[in-house]
Chains A and B, each alone.
Chain A
């Protein structure tokens, strides 16, 4: 009877999800409510978690709760701590969720709401969540080792070194593109810049509070920080209205670039307790609160989607936000939310050291990624509730908008200057035109949803306050990622250079700290500057590079996962990781090839460089150099992953053909002490 009830319940959930997908896929021309999108996503997650993750946990990985985890064996009360699975779920989610799942779907909305949503929902169930889960499992069985260490041990030392180099290069592109999003959101925005500048002294104050005055009192410091942050947000509105004060916080994108570079350098050499830790706590609280509030607000107002299911840019490939057709660019534009290689660094970092029992990895690894995908779906909803004309005007440079004007006009995506002026005034900004990067359009979408919910609940709408709250929310955790990313990049550089000059590898030697920080900051700072001065807005070239690099890191992780499954004698299940691996390699190699060799100057770096050859612009030499540099970076990423895949394929062949003994480097089995009465 119980089994019949379960079959009926899951059959009902599956049918509901299928019906929601049907509504989304078959609607053409009529307005679709966001409720269908939410229903399709939630039902797919439920079915995926209940059946597929269980299959992975029991049949593929063979999770064994009788086996002691690293948290139990090495429990030291600090980094190795057995932690309740729901607590660790929140901790892991806070570490994996950043700007990516918010910004990627907003940019991919250029193709309409359907392609991005399908990729978010299906990609996560069969790809992204599997990657997180398999790497968490592998690290859990190896005392919490990192992805690079596992690649070195399980594939070969060259693979380990390749993975490490890949992570370093990816980090540089990632930091550049994230910084570009912040710069585009804060340029000529005194309210936004004032609020973000205020977060620095607030974080310093919190740092002193937690370290010097009241050691470890994170709650007190965070409460104080939150109050001051709210004050800064409100004060920002006043600052923006003062003719003598506002110019102090009104800067061009180029000026903001230099400020970001200086900030990144200082933040990475300061002690972590001073700036990084307090900012991390603030952004974690803000992130979790805002995501919960956004989910509730969407459920309260269930907004209609104004973007069509598919736009003409899906097949034309001439999108004003970024160039390229739906395949492969929708799949690299949305990385976090569907599948993100960066998560493999978290899944082989702190999380495996805190898991109390092996079966918890299912909820934390697989379930945590499903939640991130849900955040991506909410970002897609927020972007698609905007008028398409407004969306394209905000996310495109005037030059690209002019190029796409005919297609935009035919599709009915038009917006008048008056509408944009009125919207900017309502959001407390002077202009919202050409704010590429996704963050400002997401902020407008979120502001409208929050304002809609607060007016539905009887409150005032306060659009401008909500808009700047959303900008602060995004900028705060992007800056946290820049702090941590620059620091981690510095450690990697020191480790690599330490093989040549051991003194340089000492992380406490200050000349090495300064030099390596400067090199990492110079690396991402150059790409940031390149993006800022790019006539097409920077996102067109940098976001695809970031997407390709992030997905290629996911390919590295899936290679390692597949190798370990084969060595464990589970070759018959290797398709769970090799199928998403094959898909990722296909999309990233296709996208990389097109970005380098396409004859369309908007798409191909080399074609763009060639198109500039006869130009008389004073910047032409720099622009051509940038195109060639981007070509080099794209080819480098593709080469690095090709090497790793070839070495992995060789390893698989040797093991499967029994030419080589399969040796897994798992920690020895130790029975758990938690089991009582077994």
Chain B
């Protein structure tokens, strides 16, 4: 005997997670198109590490392997981390980050559903604090005349640290647009001048802006399939736009236009894939609005005034901490108890 209801929808956790992975594919495809196949190497490494550490932790915690390995949540952690850090990096960088995220941020908190923080963002935070130098080697996009590395050449660099034809690392990498913007502003240049530099495209950085569009397309798919609700992405992007617009209008020479914030860095990835992680975000509508607005504010502040080039990951971790508090103070009124009786 069991208790009603006797029917359920066919939706499952692993299906939801699988859709998230699928939604990342347009962005990844554009990434490969503009930056070469390096990202595929780190995605593969991240996937293997994520599944392996997940399996080891499940075994140690005496949990069943199959249902948890097939829920695809570990893969999401690996993929999000791989997409957040430079693709051209020694193999151990992504391995350490992913393993740290899965072991410390996920399983030591009780595994799927119990983690306070987004494991991928914890992995990112650990890497950028521990290995800041390695985290700056972003590949130049092909459109900038960058030397496109083949898949084999990528592998050779990842595992042996050798670039083809005695190339220096600087020849194939560059600072990110956000980083460039920040350093150039420090040098006293105005936004207009900086934006004329070759690495900048129409919306954000060359190549990067297209990847961001890819992520937005994936996000639209998630919205349409109701995997995520519109509240967090809309609030996040809206707030980010509003804050950036205020600063930009007040002083266009020092503060870049809002669209640039949307399409550079990990803002789109964050809006649709990181902040929408249900485990680390509030469950109430009002709470989600507060959470996403707070994340946008922190992202902007860290990007504009902070010491790190991008603020998406730190904003996620900082807002994750606030979730229980936000939930507690944003409880909606229940049916029939809204005061006016109507």
Query: Do A and B interact with each other, yes or no?
Result: no
Chain B residues proximal to chain A, CB less than 8 Å: none
List A residues at the B interface (Cβ < 8 Å). Answer: none
